Amino acid sequence: MATVERFLNYLEFEKRFSKHTVLSYKKDLEQFASFLKNQFETEDIDQASPSMVRSWQVYLKEAGAEARTLNRKLSSLRSFYKFCLRNDIITKNPLYNIKAVKTPKRLPTFVEGAKMDKLLDGDFQLKGEGEKGFPPGFEGIRDKVLLDLFYFTGMRVSELVGLKQGSFDAGAQTIKVLGKRSKERIIPLAPEMVEMLNNYLKELEAQEFPKSDLVLFYTEKGHPATRQYIYKVVNKYLGTVTTLKKKSPHVLRHTFATHMLNNDAPINDIKEILGHSSLAATQVYTHNTIEKLKEAYRKAGLRKE
């Protein structure tokens, strides 16, 4: 598995993939190596044949893996074997003639505008709370800022977790985000968002937390907020205004992009704010807009006589 370690180091240190992404590649490759050992009595992943890869595809399908999961795992193998070819570890890519599985088109999940207004205006009831709206004190102020940042900037959860207090520039009304592959981008903030962040930082300063890391978001106990912690916070609040199955920070990213498009924001501007490397990644949100138009057409009851 020495070649796998070389490949993972290449992803982390040369391609600058996030640790989360590198771990995903590692799990896929380890799963394939385990399959080879059980089915073909070999752990030599470098020498896998096309028939071995196809057998793995069948095995995963029979185990109930969805098409998207299958394609992601094949993509991990494809990247690994391309690396092996470039470094003269193999002479032929076993995935050369293996194609991705067709997947049904799935529109990004987003929260309707009226429901987002209810959430951000505090017109909701948290389970177990006596009064409507955000809890009093530090927790409520932090949660409000956290949700607003997701919705009004479209940043990823990993980007939000990585924010430092110095990432926020009140004078310039911007926030600096470290995106995928350590690419920095500057996101503009509305005056209301700037005021909210200033108030939050004052509240944070009043807390007796060990602030050696100077991260932007902390738990109530003073620990830097993790991805899992942020997910729980977002899930809790979205559950008060929507019945969507997915209630994750990424849903708020989808919601930001969809609402921006519905309000006629230029798609190239949305691409830059989201930190997409290609326009194709942003164009997926246009399908939500098209579906909205179709729904309006259906409700109008227009038909050809």
Q: What is the DSSP letter of 46?
A: G
Annotation marks residue 250 as catalytic: yes
Q: How far apart are the C-alpha atoms of 259 and 116, rounded to whole Å?
A: 10
Catalytic residue among 118, 180, 185, 287: 180
- The H or E element spanning position 65 is none
Catalytic residue among 253, 254, 259, 271: 253
Q: How far apart are the C-alpha atoms of 216 and 137, rounded to whole Å?
A: 17
Tokens found for residue 80: 């690994």
Catalytic residue among 81, 151, 237, 285: 285
Instruction: Give the alpha-carbon dihedral of 125, 128, 134, 138, to 10 degrees.
Output: 180
Catalytic residue among 26, 176, 276, 287: 276
Q: How many CB atoms lie within 10 A of CB 259?
A: 20
Catalytic residue among 156, 247, 254, 259: 156
Task: Give how far Cα 60 sits from Cα of 50, 120, 203, Å.
Answer: 15, 42, 50
- Identify whether the C-beta of residue 221 lies closer than 8 Å to the C-beta of residue 86: no
Annotation marks residue 20 as catalytic: no
User: Is 102 exposed, middle or buried, given 0-12, 13-18 or 19+ CB atoms closer than 10 A?
Assistant: exposed
Q: How far apart are the C-alpha atoms of 259 and 110, rounded to whole Å?
A: 9
- Identify whether the C-beta of residue 209 lies closer than 8 Å to the C-beta of residue 218: yes
Annotation marks residue 156 as catalytic: yes
Q: How far apart are the C-alpha atoms of 96 and 25, rounded to whole Å?
A: 19
Task: Give how far Cα 175 sits from Cα of 140, 142, 172, Å.
Answer: 21, 16, 9
Q: What is the DSSP letter of 182?
A: G
What is the C-alpha end-to-end distance of the chain, expressed in Å? 68
**Lateral strand order in the sheet of 184-188:** 168-169, 174-178, 184-188
- Which residue numbers are catalytic? 156, 180, 250, 253, 276, 285
